[in-house]
Amino acid sequence: QGIAAVFEETAQNELEHAKVIWKLLGKWADTKENLKMAIEGEHYEWTKMYPEFEKIAKEEGFEDAVKFFKEVAEVEEQHEKRYQRLLNDLEKREVFKKKEKVMWVCRNCGYVHWGTEAPKECPNCRHPQSYFEARCQY
């Protein structure tokens, strides 16, 4: 358990290092561009990267890895579709407003609101509208 905690802490440290480097490079794009880049990345992963890993694992006789790479490619495909739905909603200005009633959940405290639009502010924890997510959508 202690060794696992060291690995987890190190992974978190590396993530923070990457965030600082990204900021230093000035690579922050707007949400729309970030979604487009994420869609491209996920598409590459499920159509090229993981199939190539699967092929190599098969050639080298790692059957458990073959199964894993095949399944993770399917997950990456769903990630691409999820990001695409978000991009579509962003372009149609439907991220926090829907045509039909949906369940909005505050990602901070779990407050649930039913309606066509997310509250401007969570009545429970006071976090802004950006913390709300339409469930069963993404």
Q: What CATH number does the domain containing 105 carry?
A: 2.20.28.10
Region 4-29 average pLDDT: 89
CA distance 50 to 38: 16
Same domain? 43 vs 9:
yes
Same domain? 42 vs 27:
yes
Count of other CB atoms within 10 angstroms of residue 132: 24
Say how many residues make up the chain: 138
Domain of 48, in residue numbers: 2-91
Sheet with 132-134, strands from edge to edge, namely 112-117, 97-106, 132-134
pLDDT of residue 23: 85
Same domain? 83 vs 104:
no
pLDDT of residue 48: 98
pLDDT of residue 28: 72
Q: Residue 76: how many CA atoms within 13 Å on its side-chain side?
A: 20
pTM recorded for the entire structure: 0.75
CA distance 117 to 132: 10
- Asked if pLDDT for residue 137 goes beyond 80, the answer is no
Same domain? 55 vs 112:
no
Same domain? 83 vs 32:
yes
Same domain? 116 vs 84:
no
| Domain tally, the chain | 2
Report the relative pairing of strands 132-134 and 97-106 from DSSP bridges.
antiparallel
What share of the chain in percent tops pLDDT 70? Answer: 98
Confidence of residue 1 (pLDDT cuts 50, 70, 90): confident
Report the relative pairing of strands 112-117 and 97-106 from DSSP bridges.
antiparallel
Question: Judging by beta carbons within 10 Å of its beta carbon (0-12, 13-18, 19+), is residue 83 exposed, middle or buried?
Answer: buried
User: Domain with 52 in it: what CATH number?
Assistant: 1.20.1260.10
Same domain? 126 vs 111:
yes
pLDDT of residue 22: 82
pLDDT of residue 29: 79
What average pLDDT does the chain have?
94
Write out pLDDT tens, residues 19-73.
Answer: 898 888 876 778 999 999 999 999 999 999 999 999 999 999 999 999 999 999 9
Confidence of residue 84 (pLDDT cuts 50, 70, 90): very high
pLDDT of residue 10: 94
CA distance 67 to 124: 44
